Structures are given as C-alpha cells and as structure tokens.
Amino acid sequence: MQGNWKAMRLTPKGKEASVVWQLYDLSKDRSEAKDLASTHPELVQAMSKSWEEWYQDVSKADDSNPVEKEKKDKKEKGSRKVKEQ
C-alpha cells in the first residue's frame, strides 16, 4: 500500500518467473475490480521494487526464519547429491 494505492503480486504456483502485478486505487475502487497496472506502470514499478526489497530483507535464511532455512538446507543437500554422483 502506498497512500490510496494497493499493489498485488500474483505468482502462479510453480511459475515464480511469471509474476504479475495488479494495481488498485482504493479511494475510487474499494472492491478492487479495476486493475490499473497498465495505466500506471511507473507506480507498479516503484511499488514492486519496494516489495522486492522488503521481501529480501524478511526472507533471509537464518534461525529466526526456519522455513527459508529449511529450503536452503534442502537446496544444499540436493546440490551435494549431484556432485557426489
């Protein structure tokens, strides 16, 4: 959220490279029926950049974030298996 604007990040399951952003002006469209992303690309870009920075900060793999730590551990184990073969 930024003022009256709400950006939504949609990621189809298993298709993280296919991220779609939607944008809504909640002062005029409280039901989020009209996606304005195509008419305000600069705002979508700014809000998505802020989201990416926030996400990178909160999803760092460490003991306080066990889900990301587990993903990292699984990835490392998988890469070791490939090297061992």
- Whether 38 and 15 have beta carbons less than 8 Å apart is answered as no
CATH architecture of 5-84: 2-Layer Sandwich (3.30)
Q: Which of 7, 17, 10, 18 is nearest to 40 (CA)?
A: 7
- Whether 28 and 3 have beta carbons less than 8 Å apart is answered as no
Task: Say which amino acid occupies 67.
Answer: V
17-68 tens-digit pLDDT: 789 999 999 999 999 999 999 999 999 999 999 999 998 888 776 666 666 6
User: How many CB atoms within 10 Å of residue 23?
Assistant: 22
The domains of the chain are located at: 5-84
Q: Which of 73, 60, 70, 63 is nearest to 81 (CA)?
A: 73
pTM for this predicted structure: 0.64
pLDDT at 85: 47
18-30 tens-digit pLDDT: 899 999 999 999 9
